[in-house]
Structure 1
Amino acid sequence: MSQHPHDEFDDVPPYQTGEAGKHRAPGAAGTGGTGGSGLRWIGLLAVFVLLVGAFAYFIVPRFSDPDVDTTAEDQDAVTESEDQAEGAAEGEDAAEGDADPEEEPAAPQPASDTETPVQVANYQGVEGGEASMSAELEELDYNVVWNGDWNFEERAETPAVVYPEDSGEAEQAIAAELAESFGVENVESHDQASFVTLIIGDEYEG
């Protein structure tokens, strides 16, 4: 067995419990303890940051959601009100559009029978009214054979259309046609009428 020369390490006393080797640099023995404590604080800080993040992500929105919902509901209510107002306005416009304007009387139509004789009689109307009405009828191709004053019984209403009591279908048809063209409601037979006669009064201005 070889014998080594005596050196300075042979004089170092044995290690005690928890004691670092004498050959280490001064202060190196406590490095392990300090490092473990620092890691613990870093871990706790990381956990705290995670908790704060989770709180901000999950909890905070729950406090803010009611305001958002309320705002959305208010907006929906405003939109609904606007839609109802527009619907009411459209309904009023539709009602106004459906309302029939005051209808003007239809213009007299040309005669369908240009041969059956007709007359025009003026009963207490404007002077010369019978002549003006005769001209109108002639322009519509009616066969006007006479015009003048009504010299028979008093008339309660004018205008009126009368036709002979023994008249045929042609005369009754032309009487009805005259009444329709000139808006006459009173159409009747007359025992002294020789032809179909349109009686005008003060309603006709000529």
Structure 2
Amino acid sequence: MSEQIELTDPVDHSVGGIYGHLFRRGFHIGMSILPFLYYEYGEAISDAFSMTRLQFVSVMVMALVLGEAIRLKLGITIFGQRDYESKQVSALAWGAFAIGITFLVLSDYPELVWPLMISLSLGDPFIGEVRRKGYESRTVFIIGSIFISGIWLASGYLIDTPYSLAILMGPLCVAAEWPRLRWIDDNATMLLIPLCAAIMILPWL
């Protein structure tokens, strides 16, 4: 079996058809609120469970892994997921795992966490919809890079993210989204690869 997944129209494989696809896109965009919840209400939420913010994130990640294992054992998919995800780790699980790791590693650097997560929550569906329009790969890459670089520039204006990172992170996030692998979803690669780059660059900022 090939390690690559054939690039197809996601609507064709979404549970719920076009409505499932739209729900999936909406859920993706809705993840943009997670940094706000973490930094504004994270302590209050974790205190309610007698935990620190990072402990709460750790528990949520472990619960996610357990829940995904159960889902795979049962071979089920939910509304908005793709039919083939009944036999492989879902994009939702991969994305949530990557988000949890990002909080655990960079929680003290909101100026990096915010653009990393917004690049995933907005950048991934944006690139996907541009690709669905039928543009050639080079055009998709350029448009996606400009869009995500814009996210990092906006972050620089709003929360003092170094502007220079926009030059790197735009193309890097798009490149990280590109592989179609069976064993890991682009929701993970699009966050974890730029996260690794941010960790490497952090001592120089």
TM (norm. structure 2) is 0.19
More helix by percentage: 2
Larger Rg: 1
TM (norm. structure 1) is 0.19
